[in-house]
């Protein structure tokens, strides 16, 4: 893959963040209120003191808002909307696969063979039911290959995990990997691009979107913290 094609993937990733991840993230931040949280009064006071050294309303609000907006909600949004990124990736590597259960097809930059790939977001993002579904699609394609003399090998059918490390793959992925390769994070992106550093380039590019678009996240978060701190004051504490 040449540099122009690699840059096209990076730009597709940025477009995914601009069109989907950032708007969802901002909406999730905006709609937060005190009632959005299932609060454990013992833990929240401890966490506020641990984070800020006191249990003032602003400290309590920070202990509520920071984990939600910088962690769980964003990870959920990324996984739930990964099909948007897959669609944009399809355009770069040559269009959507016409085979049921296959998201993208590409020529492996390392072994030169055509790969038929089902894409997933991260190393913990499938469940037990996904095992049978993925193996079923791959088995069908292997059987079709024999009938049509496509010459497929088992390692031509892969699961590509967009981010993470191989050692962090869930037991569900490992069950699939005992039959067909599961390529994770840098290994997956190197197979597509031939560039062992591409995974790092892509991940850094996502952070650049915030700078390029002039998004002042710290101001937005502080505004929400102050808003929730006001609710805590009205309630008389937590």
Give tens-digit pLDDT for 58-92.
Answer: 999 999 999 999 987 788 888 888 888 888 888 88
Could you tell me the pLDDT band of residue 36, with boundaries at 50, 70 and 90? very high
Range from 41-45, 81-85, 87-91, 96-100 that averages highest in pLDDT: 41-45
CB 192 within 8 A of CB 115: no
Could you tell me the pLDDT band of residue 138, with boundaries at 50, 70 and 90? very high
| pLDDT given for residue 172 in this prediction | 97
Q: Terminal CA-to-CA distance of the chain, rounded, Å?
A: 56
Each residue's pLDDT tens digit, 22-34: 999 999 999 999 9
SS3 string, 113-135, reads CEEEEEEECCCCCCCHHHHHHHH
Dihedral sign computed on CA atoms, order 158, 3, 168, 50: negative
Beta bridge partners of 55: none
**Hey, how many other C-beta atoms are within 10 angstroms of the C-beta on 56?**
16
Angle, vertex CA 163, rays to CA 187 and CA 159, nearest 5: 60
Token reading at 225: 């913290």
User: Parallel, antiparallel, or unpaired: how do β-strands 114-120 and 157-161 relate?
Assistant: parallel
**Of residues 236 and 150, which shows the higher confidence score?**
236
**Average pLDDT rounded to a whole number, residues 196-214:** 93
| Cβ-based neighbours of 30, under 8 Å, separated by 6 or more | 224
d(CA 156, CA 133): 18
Could you tell me the pLDDT band of residue 148, with boundaries at 50, 70 and 90? confident
d(CA 125, CA 194): 25
**Of residues 86 and 183, which shows the higher confidence score?**
183
Closest CA to 203 of 213, 183, 188, 220: 188
What's the mean pLDDT when you consider all of the chain? 92
Find the length of the chain.
238
Say what percent of the chain tops pLDDT 90.
77
| pLDDT given for residue 14 in this prediction | 93
């Amino acid at each position: 893959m040449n540099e122009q094609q690699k840059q096209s993937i990076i730009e597709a990733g940025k477009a995914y963040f601009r069109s989907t991840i950032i708007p969802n993230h901002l909406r999730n931040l905006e709609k937060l209120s005190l009632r959005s949280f299932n609060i454990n009064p013992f833990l929240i006071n401890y966490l506020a003191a641990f984070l800020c050294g006191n249990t003032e309303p602003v400290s309590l609000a920070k202990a509520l808002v920071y984990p939600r907006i910088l962690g769980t909600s964003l990870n959920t949004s990324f996984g739930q909307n990964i099909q948007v990124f897959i669609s944009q990736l399809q355009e770069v590597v040559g269009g959507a696969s016409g085979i049921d259960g296959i998201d993208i097809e590409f020529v492996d930059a390392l072994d030169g063979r055509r790969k038929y790939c089902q894409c997933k977001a991260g190393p913990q993002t499938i469940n037990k039911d996904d095992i049978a579904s993925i193996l079923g699609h791959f088995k069908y394609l292997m059987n079709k290959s024999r009938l049509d003399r496509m010459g497929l090998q088992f390692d031509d059918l892969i699961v590509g995990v967009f981010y993470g490390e191989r050692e962090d793959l869930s037991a569900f992925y490992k069950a699939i990997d005992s039959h067909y390769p599961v390529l994770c994070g840098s290994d997956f992106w190197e197979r597509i691009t031939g560039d062992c550093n591409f995974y790092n380039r892509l991940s850094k590019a996502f952070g650049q979107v915030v700078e390029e678009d002039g998004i002042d996240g710290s101001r937005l978060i502080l505004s929400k913290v102050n808003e929730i701190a006001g609710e805590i004051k009205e309630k008389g504490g937590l």
